[in-house]
């Protein structure tokens, strides 16, 4: 048994690295649906079906706890999966929760009425599918009032990162920040709502300027997982080495992952 981490591609490796740093003894199974990436341009039903199939696959691999390290999957599939029923002894968690906890400075289990928070103007950078879902705004509205969220769909960024073209990725990030600033000239905070974006977080921060607080997911998700496993230790599983599985070309995905993490990563083809 291990904790499963799922993403449509390689962006979730940023979450895996943060979890590995925070919980070095925790066995992990990373599953990338690279054959169907990117999810950010797919419709909600398609994303739900692909995500549901991936989560069930990881449950079958012995991962009782699965983290959707993909904002598009979290936005389109998580609530629906939870509402339709998760099997006893299984859990699936998303990556929005730690972001919103950090932004609102309140724990997810705090069910008190929405209240004012320190940040009133938030820029959300995400994939087109995540932006279209408005899932981040919906979840935030349950916990905070008076927060203006301006979302910017960052088309092309994930594709550039997946292809290893960081020059194009940087140019696209700066273009999307410029577009956001035309709609919200002075954001107080920026949310990087895609797990690929930490790989270009410095570019976002530079383009936004020093007065904008940037919220990125990997460290927040790792801290939230550590807290969850402290409260639910049985969900951590027992023993076993970490594994990397992909629906794509294992050699090509391994090469890209090695470039991402700057250490050798060997993916296996998912059975």
**Residue 31 near residue 246, CB atoms below 8 Å:** yes
* Cα 52 to Cα 198: distance, rounded to the nearest angstrom: 25
Query: One of 47, 58, 68, 70 is an active-site residue; which one?
Result: 70
Give the chain's length. Answer: 271
> What is the Cα–Cα distance from 131 to 18, expressed in whole angstroms?
25
**Would you call 194 a catalytic residue per the annotation?**
yes
Distance in angstroms (rounded) separating the CA atoms of residues 17 and 20: 5
Residue-wise over 227-243: b if at least 16 C-beta within 10 A, else e? ebbeeeeebbbeeeeeb
Tokens representing 126? 């995400």
Strand boundaries in 119-260, DSSP class E: 121-126, 144-145, 148-153, 189-193, 213-215, 243-246
Helix (H, G, I), strand (E, B) or coil at 122: strand
Tell me which of 117, 161, 194, 236 is the catalytic residue: 194
Q: What angle do CA 232, 237, 240 make, to 5 degrees?
A: 155
Report the C-alpha gap between 68 and 221 in whole angstroms: 10
Q: Among all residues, which ones are annotated catalytic?
A: 70, 194
């Amino acid at each position: 048994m291990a904790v499963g981490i799922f993403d449509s591609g390689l962006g979730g490796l940023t979450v895996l690295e943060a979890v590995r740093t925070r919980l070095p003894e925790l066995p992990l199974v990373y599953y990338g649906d690279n054959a169907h990436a990117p999810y950010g341009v797919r419709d909600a039903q398609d994303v739900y079906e692909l995500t549901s199939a991936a989560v069930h696959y990881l449950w079958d691999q012995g991962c009782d706890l699965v983290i959707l390290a993909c904002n598009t999957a979290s936005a389109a599939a998580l609530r629906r999966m939870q509402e339709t029923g998760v099997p006893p002894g299984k859990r699936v968690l998303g990556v929005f929760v730690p972001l919103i906890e950090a932004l609102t400075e309140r724990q997810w289990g705090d069910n008190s009425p929405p209240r004012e928070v320190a940040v009133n103007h938030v820029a959300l950078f995400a994939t087109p599918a995540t932006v279209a879902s408005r899932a981040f705004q919906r979840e935030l509205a349950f916990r905070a009032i008076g927060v203006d969220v301006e979302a910017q769909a960052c088309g092309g960024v994930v594709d550039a990162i997946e292809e290893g073209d960081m020059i194009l990725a940087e140019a696209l990030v700066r273009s999307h920040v410029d577009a956001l600033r035309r709609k919200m000239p002075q954001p107080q905070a920026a949310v990087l709502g895609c797990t690929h974006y930490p790989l270009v977080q410095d570019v976002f921060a530079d383009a936004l300027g020093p007065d904008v607080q940037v919220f990125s997911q990997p460290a927040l998700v790792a801290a939230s997982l550590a807290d969850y496993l402290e409260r639910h230790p049985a969900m951590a599983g027992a023993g076993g080495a970490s594994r990397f599985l992909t629906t794509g070309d294992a050699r090509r995905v391994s090469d890209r992952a090695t470039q991402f993490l700057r250490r050798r990563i060997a993916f296996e083809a998912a059975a």
